[in-house]
């Protein structure tokens, strides 16, 4: 009797609870820009009736939220756009696409946002800096070319490699530890013209984000950062474009719908014409020289249905230098992306991408009938599969894998018959790099959001190839031959990731991040700054993968109703298997280069302060980083720890804009950093009747401090019909400081028995004018 | 060789910076304690063997060498023969020596109670087989019209060979400074190798002699590291990956190198 009653009650309760589970519905859709149809990635969707409940759209603007049956008010938000509020009744699955209109206050564009909202839901993906592309129009740029990489340089924790160089160091990591992606395809050399300009044309880009710590498990491949740059899809509502005519370079962008609201394209191109100016010179030594770069970005997409969308995009760029007929040097990147977005259900989003990336350089020397060509190529083909599963109102799961086939041809030589050299083709190195990951963004409590995940990565080296075995001095003792397809080595690692975001109150939050990253491909530089002649190598049994473990802690606070955004972040990074060279190492076209490498440890730590003012006539930000980064190798500096080259104690960047009136905006940049740690001579001695510099401790000296002020003025002209035009004036290096690019030590020209230090600096004051139009 | 091309490449890139300015600057350098330098080259056959011993001096002070005159220098071969090398001039120790191919020589230097030793293998000479002069008009690399001198030699097959090429104008040795020409056979093993005298232009009427020194790998690594230092002078942005002192074959913290070598010469009159 009693047992039956009990069973019935249990049965009824189970049915009721089952009934409760059954009454969850999903609302999903696409969030886009009302004006252009472009996806709005990481837009927030908040449920005002429930504390701490909401979601964030993914990279492609897709959002999905699962709620229990009921009535709710949802707010859709994206920085710089007007929010939209919708009342919904959840009694079935709803498909709701939202278009957000740009804020009419757009001229107060927030320039760099460490995407932090004052509501409970914040984007929890570790230490991330998001660059607002609208800033490119007003920030003074070198030679009038707006450059997104230069803005990345002003982020706290990021140190530019130096003048004339697009590379950068993130939290003490090396130049090769940043994965630079354009629409998911890796870009191996992001510099044009020795880094005066980067390869990224701001007019073609939609978003740029830098992950510098607490990286989510979906990212990997380089141990310090990921710079994720996405191209615009192209305005799917109306045809338009923009162009800029400048003293050094010009650019043109065209975009528009192929099928209105379903399909669009964008194509953007740029060219310098510094060589045309050279040809104006009457000096033959100057006018026979070539110096130019061009690049083209193109993208098209087609939305087949609510569930399927295909994108195709590509980049092609080339740099060419030449001195008459005698010397020529060219390099360039090519990338291609073919992507398919598919909705398996209203909660499961899939992204499948096929990628291609190629970087090559070629140098040719000719003298009379001698001809020598030196060439190096790196080529990647990869497949990437990512799933986003919006499990429920508290959990967003992501999982997937990627496979990259690397082919590195580090040095082919084509020698003419009378050159005295034999042609040689280096055997390409083949490797298969891959990773599998799973992560969850979990709203644990209304105040605590955790993003935790695990990534497994590996590199498999495959033949044909030769593996050398070296002794402790780097001399070859034996070698093993491998046939095509035979496995030469297999290296792998587990990469746990964690990022925790705790909201303290309506205006402040704290963030903790931890990540471990493996890196299987490394850059060997000839010089201590990067140049197009850099060589990439893969890990092997001789070259272990670089490993970085980083922990970071940050405090974020907004003041005066979000007018000021401030943050203070501290980090500690431990690096293993860092690569350096034996004295006298030869890194070019050297099959046995692995013997010239030495391996050690690195450590870096620091504090990053950021203050941003987002509203008012005067806007901008200040970044200050106080840091230290050191290395230790048994074979270098007698095993004593030494400062890494990029150990710059202080690093300050100030970027500001002042709106004089509706049409004119004044802007200014100031950069200051402590000079690099370098090795200078500590004496001299005589050999072969020549004075030779004597060296002792590694990097025990400092280059002179670097600082520079740039000013700019943008004048918006009155709108004529569809055409908006503006003039941009900029003055680079206003007070003409000659920052050191190279310091050489040589006997003096007029008194050869005396040594002197010669500083080579690149630019004094460089003015520029650009005329921009948008239609 | 390879370094020539890439050196020129880097040289050209740095020249590219036509906006660039060069300024002499004052720098505060941490001056180190004077270090001993011992430079000695032992030529196969019957020749005068010179050992130069000096100490390092502060970098910016005009080239005054500090010579060492109290060293005891002995040359020892692997057959048990040793020969004293006496002091003949300030910092210079010299003796007439017959050195044999195939032997391993050790140079022993004692200064102030400390003993330093270095060992080098004396290899056979590699023959120079031809020399020619080619007219070059002024271009980017050479500023004047003149002749380029090219020499040819037979690289022995099957072993790694290392060389240095020196030249003389009218029998006067020329010091190449930063264009010390160091060669190896990675691209020309077993073949008749060809090389021009680097970045040097000769004029009619000059008699040019090329000397091809053949030595072991340690000597090659040393001279190659020296070309890197001389070429770029160190400092930031330098073309070398790791600024440091060239690898010496001396025991103890001594600069310089003891190089045993054999050489062959060939001459041409430019007309």
With cut-offs at 50, 70 and 90, classify the pLDDT of residue B203.
confident
Is residue B163 scored above 80 in pLDDT?
A: yes
CA of A601, closest CA in chain B: separation in Å? 17
- Which residue reads 């450590």 in tokens? A603
Q: Which string of DSSP letters, residue by residue, matches B12-72?
A: HHHHH-TT-EEEEE-----PPPP-EEEEEEEESEEEEEEEEEEE-B-TTS-S--EE----E
Contacts of B143 in chain A (CB under 8 A): none
What does the pLDDT read at residue A114? 32
For A91-95, A100-104, A400-404, A574-578, which range has the lowest pLDDT when averaged over its residues? A100-104
Nearest to A443 by CA among A730, A114, A15, A50: A50
With cut-offs at 50, 70 and 90, classify the pLDDT of residue A73.
very high
* B44 contact partners, CB below 8 Å, separation of at least 6: B99, B100, B101, B122, B123, B124, B125, B260, B261, B262, B263
Query: Distance of alpha carbon A111 from its chain centroid, rounded?
Result: 17
Instruction: Find the closest chain B residue to A285 by CA distance.
Output: B140
What does the pLDDT read at residue A109? 37
Partners of residue A356 on adjacent β-strands = A336, A381
Is residue A297 scored above 90 in pLDDT?
A: yes
Is residue B131 scored above 80 in pLDDT?
A: yes
Contacts of B3 in chain A (CB under 8 A): 586
Domains and CATH numbers, chain A: 2-103 (2.60.40.1120), 128-774 (2.40.170.20)
* A685: nearest CB among B56, B221, B236: B56
Q: Spell A355-393 as b/e; 16+ CB within 10 A means b.
A: bebbbbbbbbbbbeebbbbbbbbbbbebebebbbbbebb
Nearest to A268 by CA among A379, A182, A155, A329: A182
Tokens representing A437?
Answer: 């990951």
Instruction: Find the closest chain B residue to A534 by CA distance.
Output: B241
CB within 8 Å: B241 and A194: no
* A694: nearest CB among B32, B52, B242: B32
Q: Which of A694, A705, A743, A765 to mutate to test binding with chain B, by most B CBs within 10 Å of its CB?
A: A694
CB within 8 Å: A701 and B56: no
Contacts of B25 in chain A (CB under 8 A): 704, 740, 743, 757-759
Taking residues A302-316, what's their average pLDDT?
A: 92
Most confident segment among A199-203, A235-239, A692-696: A235-239
Contacts of A194 in chain B (CB under 8 A): 13, 16-17
Q: Using CB atoms within 10 Å of the CB of residue B136, give its burial: 0 to 12 exposed, 13 to 18 middle, 19+ buried.
A: middle
What does the pLDDT read at residue B109? 93
What does the pLDDT read at residue A370? 66
B41 touches A: beta carbon within 8 Å: no
Mean pLDDT, chain A, integer: 85
Nearest to A199 by CA among A222, A231, A173: A231
Taking residues A490-510, what's their average pLDDT?
A: 91
Taking residues B64-88, what's their average pLDDT?
A: 89
What CA–CA distance (Å, rounded) separates B45 from B103? Answer: 12
Angle between helices B217-232 and B2-16 (to 10 degrees): 10
What does the pLDDT read at residue A120? 31
CB within 8 Å: A759 and B175: no
Which tens digits make up the pLDDT trace of A335-369?
999 999 999 998 999 999 999 999 998 888 776 66
* A329: nearest CB among B9, B20, B235: B9
Taking residues A204-231, what's their average pLDDT?
A: 90
Do B120 and B259 touch, CB atoms closer than 8 A? Answer: yes
- Which residue reads 């040594």 in tokens? A755
Comparing A114 with B154, the larger pLDDT belongs to B154
Cα separation values, A220 from A123, A224, A433, Å: 19, 9, 11
With cut-offs at 50, 70 and 90, classify the pLDDT of residue A318.
very high
What CA–CA distance (Å, rounded) separates A497 from A452? Answer: 6
* A584: nearest CB among B52, B141, B247: B247
Interface of B with A in 85-104 (CB under 8 A): none
Taking residues A563-574, what's their average pLDDT?
A: 92
Q: Are β-strands B45-55 and B92-99 bridged in parallel, bridged antiparallel, or unpaired?
A: antiparallel
Total beta-carbon pairs less than 8 A apart between chain A and chain B:
269
Cα separation values, B12 from A251, A324, B226, Å: 28, 12, 21
Is residue A126 scored above 60 in pLDDT?
A: yes
Q: Spell B32-60 as b/e; 16+ CB within 10 A means b.
A: bebbbbbbbbbbbeeeebbbbbbbbbbbb
Taking residues A94-108, what's their average pLDDT?
A: 76
CB within 8 Å: A424 and B187: yes
What does the pLDDT read at residue B120? 92
What CA–CA distance (Å, rounded) separates A697 from A681? Answer: 9
Cα separation values, A98 from A44, A64, A68, A653, Å: 12, 12, 21, 37
Q: Spell A45-81 as b/e; 16+ CB within 10 A means b.
A: bbbeeeebbbbbbbbbbbbbbbbeeeebebebbbbbb
Is residue B11 scored above 50 in pLDDT?
A: no
Interface of B with A in 116-135 (CB under 8 A): 134
What CA–CA distance (Å, rounded) separates B104 from B77? Answer: 6
What CA–CA distance (Å, rounded) separates A350 from A434? Answer: 19
CB within 8 Å: A326 and B139: yes
* B233: nearest CB among A162, A582, A693: A693
What does the pLDDT read at residue A10? 65
3-class DSSP state of B5: helix
Nearest to A380 by CA among A352, A401, A351, A409: A409
Tokens representing A350?
Answer: 């899939």
Mean pLDDT, chain B, integer: 81
For A28-42, A682-696, B225-239, B256-270, which range has the lowest pLDDT when averaged over its residues? B225-239
Contacts of A581 in chain B (CB under 8 A): 241-242
What does the pLDDT read at residue A276? 66
What CA–CA distance (Å, rounded) separates A641 from A231? Answer: 43
Is residue A388 scored above 80 in pLDDT?
A: yes
What does the pLDDT read at residue B239? 40
Is residue A621 scored above 60 in pLDDT?
A: yes
* A678 contact partners, CB below 8 Å, separation of at least 6: A528, A645, A699, A701, A702, A703, A743, B235, B236
What does the pLDDT read at residue A1? 53
For A309-318, A391-400, B14-23, B39-48, which range has the lowest pLDDT when averaged over its residues? B14-23
Which tens digits make up the pLDDT trace of A696-748?
888 888 889 999 999 999 899 998 888 999 998 989 889 988 888 878 777 77
Nearest to A438 by CA among A279, A220, A640: A220
B221 touches A: beta carbon within 8 Å: yes
What CA–CA distance (Å, rounded) separates A74 from B35? Answer: 77
Is residue B57 scored above 60 in pLDDT?
A: yes
B252 touches A: beta carbon within 8 Å: no
3-class DSSP state of A285: helix
Contacts of A361 in chain B (CB under 8 A): none
Contacts of B177 in chain A (CB under 8 A): 690
* A582: nearest CB among B3, B17, B242: B242
Q: Alpha helix (H) ranges present in chain B?
A: 2-16, 217-232
Helix (H) or strand (E) holding A43: none
B190 touches A: beta carbon within 8 Å: no
Is residue A212 scored above 70 in pLDDT?
A: yes
What CA–CA distance (Å, rounded) separates A199 from A191? Answer: 6
Q: Which of A678, A685, A697, A704 to mutate to test binding with chain B, by most B CBs within 10 Å of its CB?
A: A685
Cα separation values, B113 from A255, B35, B94, Å: 81, 15, 21
Tell me A117's DSSP state: -
Partners of residue A435 on adjacent β-strands = A402, A457
Do A206 and A252 touch, CB atoms closer than 8 A? Answer: no
Contacts of B61 in chain A (CB under 8 A): 754
CB within 8 Å: A526 and B241: yes
What CA–CA distance (Å, rounded) separates B76 from B83? Answer: 6
Q: What is the pTM of this model?
A: 0.84
Is residue A257 scored above 60 in pLDDT?
A: yes
- Calculate ∠ Cα A36-A42-A44, nearest 5°: 100
Tokens representing A355?
Answer: 């990628």
Instruction: Find the closest chain A residue to B257 by CA distance.
Output: A687
Peptide bond preceding A464 in cis form (omega within 30 of 0): yes
């Amino acid at each position: 009797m009693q047992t039956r009653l009990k069973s019935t009650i249990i049965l009824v309760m189970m049915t009721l609870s089952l009934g409760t589970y059954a009454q969850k519905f999903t609302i999903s859709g696409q969030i886009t820009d009302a004006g252009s149809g472009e996806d709005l990635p990481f837009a927030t969707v908040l449920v005002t009736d429930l504390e701490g409940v909401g979601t964030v759209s993914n990279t492609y603007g897709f959002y999905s939220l699962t709620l229990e049956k009921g009535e709710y008010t949802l707010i859709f938000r994206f920085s710089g756009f007007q929010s939209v509020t919708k009342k919904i009744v959840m009694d079935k699955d709803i498909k709701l696409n939202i278009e957000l209109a740009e804020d009419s206050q757009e001229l107060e564009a927030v320039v760099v946002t460490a995407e932090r909202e004052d509501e409970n839901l914040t984007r929890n993906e570790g230490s991330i800096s998001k660059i607002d592309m609208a800033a490119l129009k007003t920030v003074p740029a070198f030679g009038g070319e707006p450059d997104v990489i230069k803005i990345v340089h002003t982020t706290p924790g990021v140190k530019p490699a130096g003048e004339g160089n697009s590379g950068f160091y993130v939290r003490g990591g090396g130049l090769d530890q940043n994965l630079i992606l354009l629409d998911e395809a890796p870009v191996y050399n992001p510099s044009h013209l020795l880094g005066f300009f980067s390869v990224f044309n701001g007019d073609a880009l939609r978003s740029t984000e830098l992950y510098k710590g607490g990286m989510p498990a979906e990212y990997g491949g380089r141990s310090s950062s990921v710079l994720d740059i996405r191209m615009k899809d192209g305005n799917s509502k109306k045809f338009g474009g923009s162009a800029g005519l400048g003293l050094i370079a010009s650019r043109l962008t065209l975009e528009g719908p192929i099928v209105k609201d379903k399909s669009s394209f964008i194509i953007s191109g740029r060219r310098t014409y510094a060589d045309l100016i050279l040809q104006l010179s009457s000096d033959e030594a100057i006018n026979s020289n070539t110096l130019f770069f061009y690049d083209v970005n193109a993208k098209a997409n087609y939305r087949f249905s609510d569930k399927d969308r295909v994108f195709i995009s590509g980049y092609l760029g080339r740099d060419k230098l030449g001195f008459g007929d005698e010397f020529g040097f060219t390099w360039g990147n090519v990338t291609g992306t073919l992507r398919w977005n598919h909705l398996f259900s209203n909660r499961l989003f899939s992204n499948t991408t096929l990628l291609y990336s190629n970087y090559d350089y070629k140098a040719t020397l000719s003298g009379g009938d001698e001809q020598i060509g030196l060439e190096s190529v790196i080529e990647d083909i990869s497949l990437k599969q990512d799933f986003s599963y919006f499990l429920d109102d508290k959990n967003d799961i992501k999982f997937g894998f990627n496979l990259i086939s690397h082919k590195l041809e580090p040095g082919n030589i084509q020698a003419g018959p009378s050159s005295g050299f034999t042609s040689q083709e280096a055997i390409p190195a083949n490797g298969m790099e891959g990773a599998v990951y799973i992560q969850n963004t979990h709203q644990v409590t209304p105040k605590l959001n955790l993003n935790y995940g695990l990534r497994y990565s590996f590199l498999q080296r495959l033949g044909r190839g030769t593996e050398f075995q070296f002794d402790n001095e780097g001399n070859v003792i034996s070698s093993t031959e491998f046939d095509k397809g035979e496995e030469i080595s297999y290296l792998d690692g587990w990469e746990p990731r964690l990022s925790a975001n705790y909201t303290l109150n309506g205006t402040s939050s704290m963030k903790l991040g931890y990540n471990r990253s493996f890196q299987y491909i490394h850059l060997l530089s000839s010089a201590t700054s990067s140049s197009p002649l850099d060589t990439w190598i893969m890990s092997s049994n001789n070259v272990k993968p670089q490993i970085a473990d980083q922990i970071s802690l940050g405090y974020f606070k907004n003041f005066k109703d979000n007018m000021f955004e401030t943050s203070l972040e501290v980090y500690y990074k431990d690096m293993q298997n860092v690569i350096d060279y034996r004295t006298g190492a030869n890194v070019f076209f050297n099959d046995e280069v692995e013997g010239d490498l030495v391996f050690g440890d690195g450590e870096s730590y620091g504090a990053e302060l950021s203050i941003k003012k987002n509203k008012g006539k005067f806007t901008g930000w200040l970044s200050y980083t106080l840091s230290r980064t050191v290395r230790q190798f048994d074979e270098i500096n007698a095993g004593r720890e030494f400062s890494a080259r990029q150990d710059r104690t202080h690093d300050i960047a100030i970027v500001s804009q002042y709106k004089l009136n509706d049409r004119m905006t004044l802007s200014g940049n100031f950069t200051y950093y402590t000079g690099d740690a370098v090795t200078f001579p500590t004496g001299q001695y005589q050999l072969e009747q020549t004075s030779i510099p004597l060296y002792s401790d590694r990097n025990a000296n400092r280059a002179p401090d670097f600082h520079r002020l740039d000013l700019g003025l943008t004048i918006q002209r009155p709108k004529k019909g569809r055409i908006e035009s503006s003039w941009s004036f900029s003055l680079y290096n206003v007070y003409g400081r000659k920052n050191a690019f190279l310091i050489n030590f040589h006997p003096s020209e007029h008194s050869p028995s005396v040594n002197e230090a010669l500083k080579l600096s690149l630019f004094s004051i460089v003015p520029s004018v650009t005329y921009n139009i948008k239609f | 060789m390879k370094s020539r091309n890439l050196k020129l490449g880097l040289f050209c890139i740095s020249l590219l910076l036509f906006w660039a300015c060069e300024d002499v600057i004052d720098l505060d350098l941490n001056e180190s304690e004077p270090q001993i330098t011992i430079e000695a080259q032992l030529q196969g056959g019957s020749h005068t063997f010179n050992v130069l011993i000096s100490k390092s001096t502060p970098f910016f002070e005009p080239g005054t060498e500090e010579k060492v005159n109290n060293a005891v220098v002995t040359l020892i071969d692997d057959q048990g023969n040793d020969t004293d090398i006496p002091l003949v001039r300030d910092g210079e120790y010299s003796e007439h020596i017959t050195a044999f191919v195939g032997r391993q020589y050790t140079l022993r230097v004692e200064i102030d109670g400390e003993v330093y030793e270095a060992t080098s293998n004396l290899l056979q000479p590699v023959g120079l087989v031809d020399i020619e002069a080619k007219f070059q008009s002024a271009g980017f690399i050479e500023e004047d019209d003149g002749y380029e001198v090219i020499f040819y030699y037979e690289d022995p097959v099957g072993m790694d060979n290392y060389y240095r090429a020196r030249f003389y104008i009218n029998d006067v040795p020329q010091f190449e400074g930063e264009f010390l020409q160091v060669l190896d056979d990675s691209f020309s093993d077993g073949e008749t190798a060809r090389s021009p005298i680097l970045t040097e232009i000769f004029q009619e009427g000059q008699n040019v002699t090329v000397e091809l020194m053949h030595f072991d790998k340690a000597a090659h690594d040393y001279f190659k590291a020296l070309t890197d230092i001389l070429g770029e002078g160190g400092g930031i942005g330098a073309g070398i990956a790791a600024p440091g002192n060239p690898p010496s074959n001396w025991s103890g913290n001594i600069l310089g190198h003891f190089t045993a070598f054999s050489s062959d010469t060939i001459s041409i009159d430019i007309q």
